[in-house]
Amino acid sequence: MENISKKILELAEKYSDYTAQNLSKLIQIKSVSMQEKDVQHELKRQMEEAGFDEVRFDGLGNVIGRIGNGKKILAIDAHMDTVDLGELSNWDFDPLSGEVKDGYVHGRGTVDQEGGAAAFVTMGRILKELSFDRDLTIYCTGTVMEEDCDGLCWKYIVEEEKIKPDFAISTEPTNLNIYRGHRGRMEMRVTFKGISCHGSAPERGDNAIYKASRAALEIEKLNERIKYDEFLGKGSVTISEFKSGSPSLCAVADYAHIHLDRRLTWGETKESAVAEVEAIVKDLDGVVEVLHYEEKAWTGLTYGMEKYYPTWKIPENHKVVQTGKEAYETLFEKSPLIDKWTFSTNGVTINGYYDVPMIGFGPGNEVLAHAPNEKVPIDHLVKASAFYTMFAYLI
């Protein structure tokens, strides 16, 4: 393996400018959720240029690139949609420039997370140059709509494309650390109904806003007593929206709802999280529902799922984690930090729903995700492409 690892590092470095320029081309194409068409065609072109055995779109618009035809399946995933640009005055450079300067590629999506896609394109080129011959099929997936609905893309890949890998790597940013899990999340709406009356005599009615407000104060307290896990940390709940309605501004509100962003730590489930809120609102006539996502992809296909994204973590002694550790140590001659993400990823379906063993390893620091002045070190892109290649040899 020493000889292979040396060749991998040499080629990853040799193609550093190729990787950076490929990423630059992706960044120059704005690609918010459901508007990924142009960036997906560019990624497909790059995969084909790199020599992938097969590259195609699925019905949802994910790009699926295949290398090899072995019995075991490794999937390496990067979502290609980004959040919007935000307030442009907060940026020191054009967020769609893709400028390659001072050892970085600059722009929206460099960290979250088209940098991972550029790195796995280079991995494909390296594997072809090394005449990779392991009994393995590698699927590199440039997936869609993750920012809108984590994991929806992989629900489609597993359930409609019938591709269920044996192992997976998420290329979400890990600052070149190995991640083995993160908290789950879910979105709930609690609805309150009241009875309207003239605002001059509010005692005649039943104000839905007051019910929702009482519930909101109790949900604030709930956040303080939510379960804690030694690895993943504490779960959380916050109210992210409060809406109400009434026949007029001179009337008592007969409708209100609050939207809850619930982060789930290990051991918490959809059912346990709903039950906690139901206990708070049962005497306030509140109705709790887990929301459903359904939107039209760039291909025109409408697809959806419940907005419940399970918690997941992989034991540190699991083969997939230890293979990642071996790949890192073989290449870089030091031990990796093995940790977790703060935010949510497509791992909620890949492992959370379908129990596929997976790790995260990606270029860039997650603190720059969704932030102005997003940029990724070219050195990270080089090391990520080497890591994915080495992992394929070892798994």
335-348 per-position pLDDT tens digit: 999 999 999 999 99
* pLDDT(118) > 90: yes
Q: Report pLDDT for 60.
A: 98
Look at residues 213, 309, 200 and name the one whose alpha carbon lies nearest to residue 250. 200
User: If you average pLDDT over residues 60-89, what whole number do you get?
Assistant: 98
| Dihedral (Cα; 168, 174, 177, 178), 10-degree rounding | -20
Spatial distance between the Cα atoms of 302 and 90, rounded to a whole number of angstroms: 35
Mean pLDDT for 371-382 is 98
Q: What average pLDDT score do residues 16-22 get? A: 98
Contact (Cβ atoms closer than 8 angstroms) between residue 19 and residue 388: no
Give the pairing of strands 286-290 and 184-193: antiparallel
Provide the β-strand partners of residue 360: 170, 179
pLDDT, position 267: 96
Q: What is the mean pLDDT of residues 208-217?
A: 98
Q: How many CB atoms lie within 10 A of CB 67?
A: 25
Question: Taking residues 99-111, what's their average pLDDT?
Answer: 98
pLDDT at residue 237, as a whole number: 98
Is 112 catalytic? The answer is no
In the chain, the domains with their CATH numbers are 2-182+311-394 (3.40.630.10), 185-296 (3.30.70.360)
pLDDT digits (tens, 9 = 90+) for 274-330: 999 999 999 999 999 999 999 999 999 999 999 999 999 999 999 999 999 999 999
Q: What would the mean pLDDT of 50-56 be, rounded to a whole number?
A: 98
% pLDDT > 90, the chain = 99
The span from the CA of 163 to the CA of 75, in Å, is 9
- Mean local confidence (pLDDT), 205-222: 98
Active-site annotation holder among 146, 147, 150, 268: 146
- 116 SS3 class: helix
132-144 pLDDT tens trace: 999 999 999 999 9
- Catalytic residue check, 206: no
In the predicted model, is pLDDT for residue 1 greater than 80? Answer: no
pLDDT at position 221, please?
98
148-202 pLDDT, tens digit each? 999 999 999 999 999 999 999 999 999 999 999 999 999 999 999 999 999 999 9
Give pLDDT, residue 2.
76
Catalytic residue chosen out of the listed positions 42, 81, 206, 374: 81
All residues at 6 or more sequence positions from 192 whose CB lies less than 8 Å from its CB, including other chains: 208, 211, 212, 215, 255, 256, 257, 281, 284, 285, 286, 287
CA-CA distance, 237 to 41, in Å (whole number)?
39
pTM of the entire structure? 0.96
Question: In angstroms, what is the C-alpha Rg of the chain?
Answer: 23
Residues 6+ apart with CB under 8 A from 53: 66, 67, 68, 69
Phi, psi dihedrals of residue 317, rounded to the nearest 5°: -90, 5
Average pLDDT of the segment spanning 202-212: 98
Give the residue-averaged pLDDT of 208-236: 98
CA torsion sign for 126, 128, 133, 135 is positive
